[in-house]
A and B are shown apart, each in its own frame.
Chain A
Amino acid sequence: EAGVVQSPRYKIIEKKQPVAFWCNPISGHNTLYWYRQNLGQGPELLIRYENEEAVDDSQLPKDRFSAERLKGVDSTLKIQPAELGDSAVYLCASSTDRGNTEAFFGQGTRLTVV
């Protein structure tokens, strides 16, 4: 069974440019998470979806970040415009919607803003 798939793996952009990350969760997983991991830090939740509904987006900087999960499967996270401080690894994870289950992570997208 395929795991969580993210693309691209790496992205280098100039500041003020837009960027988008894509995530395909494990089949049958209704819950999808986007995390941001700064260098030397643990992942921090940006947004959590249950099916196509964003149930927790309190940590998403809504002035420049947006996310969508059409049809409750794939998800896209967008930054527009990117700032130097957005350089980080963006991790996508998925799980079933039961509380007592773990999240499975993709390999992440490493974003460098120059």
Chain B
Amino acid sequence: AQSVTQPDIHITVSEGASLELRCNYSYGATPYLFWYVQSPGQGLQLLLKYFSGDTLVQGIKGFEAEFKRSQSSFNLRKPSVHWSDAAEYFCAVGVPTTGTASKLTFGTGTRLQVTL
């Protein structure tokens, strides 16, 4: 069965600083990979996704992520964090299934705090 590990429970960065959130997955083949963001009291919003092709993917709000097969990682990055980026970030793995939508498994999340 697939699994996702987000080793950092809580990260604090200063506004304007760069950010990297780590995500490692376990799956026998190349899965579909996602990053979602959740603000307090809200549902999950997709930041970016990787299905195949270019291993560096661009998302909304200036985020990007890089798929590294050798490290089974899909880390999320942003060059300059804004105070509005404070939220919970979830990495998810989608396991392709024949003829149906993929099965999504989420990590436990990383809470980002931004100091002014």
Binding site for B on A (CB under 8 A): 4, 30-31, 33, 35, 40-45, 48, 50, 55-56, 91, 93, 95-108, 110
Contacts and interface: CB of A to CB of B under 8 A. Distances in A.
A97 B51 contact: no
Contact of A97 (B100, B106, B107): B100
Give the secondary structure class of B's interface: strand
12 contacts: A31-B100, A43-B44, A43-B106, A48-B103, A50-B101, A91-B44, A95-B101, A96-B101, A100-B32, A101-B102, A107-B42, A108-B43
Given A56-B103, A99-B102, A100-B102, 4 more contacts: A4-B43, A40-B108, A43-B44, A45-B103
A110 B103 CA distance: 23
Interface of B: 4, 32, 34, 36, 41-46, 49, 51-52, 90, 92, 94, 96-97, 99-109
B66 to A, nearest CB: 18
B74 to A, nearest CB: 14
A97 B101 contact: yes
